[in-house]
Copies of this chain bind each other. A is one copy, B any other.
């Protein structure tokens, strides 16, 4: 009978601020970082579960301290029992009455729980010998809803609603899995659009993105309207009318400014306006969405939990849902968010980039296609070509599409050499 015998943590930081990769209107100089957790067991297979929270530098040590606070909940547990009841484990962690006070269900403590939950899913998928997307896609509708805590969701999505959605998608699972394996999942790229890049670099990277097969790119905006108009003109001139161009303001605006700015950018036929304002402001998103229609409003990478996503859907505040693999409490909460999106008929276009977010989130998008929404319409996973070399099973993006991963696990394991080299002193 194998047990979890250790929860190891690592404070990993990459000095990305030196090159302004990842620079935007709110984050001028990020140092892409991971608060990393490894769950070790005494099973003979030697398999470990790996997970992490993506951060952008300072405070990564605080995030690691939050991971350590979960040790008492996890170390000593029976491995098989634990992995057989990940819905129960999720509830135990999220509803720890003392830790809950530190959110509740938001910020550092909630993200730490997400990393631990993701590490458990990584271990479960490795033990099953399959990639996470395939493991999730093999669960019955009942097994899937058992993973979800419906507290605070029932005014929009009940257990019965979720079961009905999953059952209606069940007959097409095999066909969609075949299609996914053959064709991959559409991607878009943010590589050209960082705010710290000059016009020549922007133009060059736009051309490269098109050559690589991308049909959708994204530009950071929100610092200066004239700059944004100039950069969008450069991008649109190179892309022509058929390549989609989204813009991302990274929470820079208040309501009136978001509406004015978005309307000014709309002449360049933008695919969506992302994070126009505070991620906590449901009513502001709803007001902006109404005023800038038909430009879609997108958000998600900083949405704290399923309760805020629920309201953004209820209010019409978003029409592109950008879930993030490490912002909420892991795979379980993200499945609840996928089901909410399906209930409201809104496409999920995951946030990625950072450290390992592409590797992790592709599994959720592919599971959504196979077993939840059953659709690729209007759906793309973000792609940024940074730091993949540090992962044992890096993403494989070709011709503007994510190829379905075949390796067992959740994609979240870094090389020991990378962990060692970039551990923060």
Instruction: List chain A positions with a Cβ less than 8 A from chain B.
Output: 26-31, 55-59, 61-63, 65-66, 68-69, 96-111, 151-155, 251, 254-256, 277-284, 287, 302, 304-305, 307-308, 310-311, 314-315
Q: Which residues on the B side are within 8 Å of A111 (C-beta)?
A: 102
Q: Which residues on the B side are within 8 Å of A311 (C-beta)?
A: 280-284
Q: Which residue of B lies closest to A314 (CB)?
A: B283
Question: Are A104 and B283 in contact (CB-based, < 8 A)?
Answer: no
> Would you mind naming 25 contact pairs between A and B with Cβ atoms under 8 Å apart?
A27-B101, A30-B97, A30-B101, A57-B98, A59-B69, A59-B99, A61-B69, A102-B111, A103-B107, A105-B278, A106-B280, A106-B304, A107-B107, A107-B108, A107-B304, A151-B254, A152-B277, A154-B254, A155-B256, A155-B284, A282-B283, A283-B311, A283-B315, A284-B311, A304-B304
Alpha-carbon gap, A151 to B172, bound state (A) = 47
Q: Which residue of B lies closest to A277 (CB)?
A: B152
Question: Are A108 and B284 in contact (CB-based, < 8 A)?
Answer: no
Question: Are A307 and B287 in contact (CB-based, < 8 A)?
Answer: no
Q: Which of B57, B107, B152 is the one whose CB lies under 8 Å from A109?
A: B107
Give this chain's copy count.
Answer: 2
Given the contacts A101-B27, A278-B307, A96 and B58 also touching, CB distance less than 8 Å = yes
Alpha-carbon gap, A96 to B61, bound state (A) = 16
Q: Which residue of B lies closest to A23 (CB)?
A: B97
Alpha-carbon gap, A99 to B26, bound state (A) = 12
Q: Which of B56, B109, B153, B280 is the one whose CB lies under 8 Å from A59?
A: B109
Q: Which of B104, B153, B256 is the one whose CB lies under 8 Å from A302?
A: B104
Alpha-carbon gap, A305 to B281, bound state (A) = 11
Question: Are A304 and B283 in contact (CB-based, < 8 A)?
Answer: no
CB distance from A424 to the nearest CB of B (A): 12
Alpha-carbon gap, A288 to B259, bound state (A) = 30
CB distance from A236 to the nearest CB of B (A): 29
Q: Which residues on the B side are within 8 Å of A66 (C-beta)?
A: 59, 62, 108
Given the contacts A102-B107, A282-B311, A62 and B62 also touching, CB distance less than 8 Å = yes
Question: Are B97 and A26 in contact (CB-based, < 8 A)?
Answer: yes
Alpha-carbon gap, A108 to B110, bound state (A) = 10
Question: Are A97 and B27 in contact (CB-based, < 8 A)?
Answer: yes
Q: Which residues on the B side are within 8 Å of A61 (C-beta)?
A: 65, 69
Question: Are A152 and B254 in contact (CB-based, < 8 A)?
Answer: yes
CB distance from A109 to the nearest CB of B (A): 6
Question: Are A106 and B106 in contact (CB-based, < 8 A)?
Answer: yes
Q: Which of B62, B151, B279, B283 is the one whose CB lies under 8 Å from A108?
A: B62
CB distance from A237 to the nearest CB of B (A): 31
Q: Which of B58, B101, B305 is the one whose CB lies under 8 Å from A99?
A: B58
Q: Which residue of B lies closest to A107 (CB)?
A: B107
Q: Which of B30, B62, B97 is the one whose CB lies under 8 Å from A69?
A: B62
Question: Are A62 and B59 in contact (CB-based, < 8 A)?
Answer: no
Alpha-carbon gap, A6 to B215, bound state (A) = 54
Most buried by B among A100, A280, A305: A280
Question: Are B107 and A56 in contact (CB-based, < 8 A)?
Answer: no
